Amino acid sequence: MSITGKIEVQDKDILGALGAFFKRVLETDDINAILVPQHLSMKNMVMPTLVTDPEQLNGVDPLAPAFPMNAAKIVSRLTRKQMGSKIAVVLRPCEIRAFVELVKLKQGQMDEVMLIGMDCLGAFQNKDYLQYVDRHGDKSTERFYQDVLDGKQADIEGATLASACMSCENPVPTNADILIGLFGVEIADYLLVQSQSKRGTNLLNQMHMTEIPEPASRQDAITAIVAQRIACRDEMFVRTRAATDSLEKMTAYLANCVNCYNCRVACPVCYCKECVFVTDVFNHDPSQYLRWANRKGVIKMPTDTLFFHLTRLAHMSTACVGCGQCSNACPNGIPVMELFRTISQSTQRAFEYEAGKSIQQEPPLSVFYEDEFPEVVGINS
């Protein structure tokens, strides 16, 4: 049975209310630690922090428009073996979806984590966030969520949200144990809490939340924002397909890639422990480069750029959750997310799969059935 309750907000201090709520979570018998984004005292940046002392939750800021990394990777680190303790983790919806993919790949487990998902207002790219925070200092987060909830998200004083966020059709978490809702809620007065699983219900019961019905305005607000995001996403798909639909255009799209592989490092679902592209397989014999150059008279260095991206698409596009961390990490401004989301829409659809949606459904390349895909067999199909 799901419980819907409220977190009271005093003096419009939403972050304070969230901090107090997380403190109560940490004080329950079930939870020994909490992973939550906080303002670092030494720099105006928000990073995931692992907290065991309830007094160390004063900088809690999960609403900051900062998304320095996809924290599914952190949760995977914390849960790859039994920890012997229970932790609560506060995540964005795309972080939960990436974590679900990692759990299915046996790179994390759910038993010891309580997933707290927040309605996601989106975030800036890293460099834009730093500028935003320079301009608005302490008031950055407050300014941001007010603007977004007032419907101004497309362009907030010069900076736009990351393209991944603008085209994200999943701003409301699924597969969380507990959801914290903002859309369609009078956040000046309260935030919504809702359990999405049995253990979530148990935890909320222990915390004696004041129960309320879900506000009537919530579903409409969600429908409206999702429609807006889907329109933006579909436009992005059309744009990206047009920019990459031949080998020549694809080559142009990726021409300034320097094979730094930051996109792969930042990707939460690039699951190999050692990527083949950093092994000796790609440390070619020096004479090999000349043989390649000889064939057409010229090659671009470093080589294997398109090979890298196409291989990554083949290996992980069925697991892409569209978080945009690849684009965020690219030093050369290549719209990596756009490419990966566009292709992954086709590959996920081909296997009737949606990354991060279901814990039960096996990843497409981990299963097979005897009778399937007859259309790809034979030379006359």
Applying CB under 6 A, the residues found at the interface with ligand SF4 are 257-263, 266-269, 320-326, 329-332, 334, 336-337, 340
Asked whether 45 and 66 are in contact (CB, 8 A), the reply is: yes
Nearer to other proteins, 227 or 252 (CB): 252
How far apart (Å, rounded) are the C-alpha atoms in residues 39 and 250? 40
First to last CA, the chain: 50
Kindly state the greatest CA–CA separation across the chain. 74
Nearer to ligand SF4, 204 or 257 (CB): 257
Helix (H) or strand (E) holding 118: strand 113-118
Asked whether 344 and 318 are in contact (CB, 8 A), the reply is: yes
Asked whether 160 and 166 are in contact (CB, 8 A), the reply is: yes
How far apart (Å, rounded) are the C-alpha atoms in residues 321 and 255? 25
Rounded least distance, CB 168 to other proteins, Å: 21
Residue type at 41 in one-letter notation = S
How far apart (Å, rounded) are the C-alpha atoms in residues 381 and 378? 6
Q: Which of ligand SF4, other proteins, none has residue 267 at its interface (CB below 5 to 8 Å by kind)?
A: ligand SF4
How far apart (Å, rounded) are the C-alpha atoms in residues 84 and 32? 10
User: Does residue 299 bind other proteins (CB under 8 A)?
Assistant: yes
Please select the residue that binds other proteins; options are 222, 313, 354, 357, rule is CB under 8 A.
Answer: 313
Rounded least distance, CB 249 to ligand SF4, Å: 16
Find where tokens 């933006």 sit.
232
Q: Which of other proteins, ligand SF4, none has residue 343 at its interface (CB below 5 to 8 Å by kind)?
A: other proteins
Find where tokens 């990966």 sit.
340
Nearer to other proteins, 125 or 318 (CB): 318
Q: Which of ligand SF4, other proteins, none has residue 244 at its interface (CB below 5 to 8 Å by kind)?
A: other proteins
Nearer to ligand SF4, 188 or 260 (CB): 260
Nearer to other proteins, 234 or 245 (CB): 245
Residues in 219-258 at the binding interface with other proteins, rule: CB under 8 A: 241, 244-251, 254-255, 257
Rounded least distance, CB 334 to ligand SF4, Å: 4
> What residues have CB less than 8 Å from 105, skipping those under 6 apart?
271, 319, 363, 366
Distances in Å between the Cα of 249 and the Cα atoms of 20, 240, 302, 327, 381 are: 52, 10, 19, 19, 28
Q: Which of ligand SF4, other proteins, none has residue 332 at its interface (CB below 5 to 8 Å by kind)?
A: ligand SF4
User: Does residue 275 bind other proteins (CB under 8 A)?
Assistant: no
User: Does residue 377 bind other proteins (CB under 8 A)?
Assistant: yes
Nearer to other proteins, 13 or 372 (CB): 372
Nearer to other proteins, 360 or 380 (CB): 380
Rounded least distance, CB 319 to other proteins, Å: 12
**Chain center to CA of 167:** 12
Interface residues with other proteins (CB under 8 A)?
Answer: 241, 244-251, 254-255, 257, 276, 296, 298-300, 303, 305-307, 310-311, 313-315, 317-318, 342-343, 346-347, 350-351, 364-365, 368-370, 372-373, 376-379
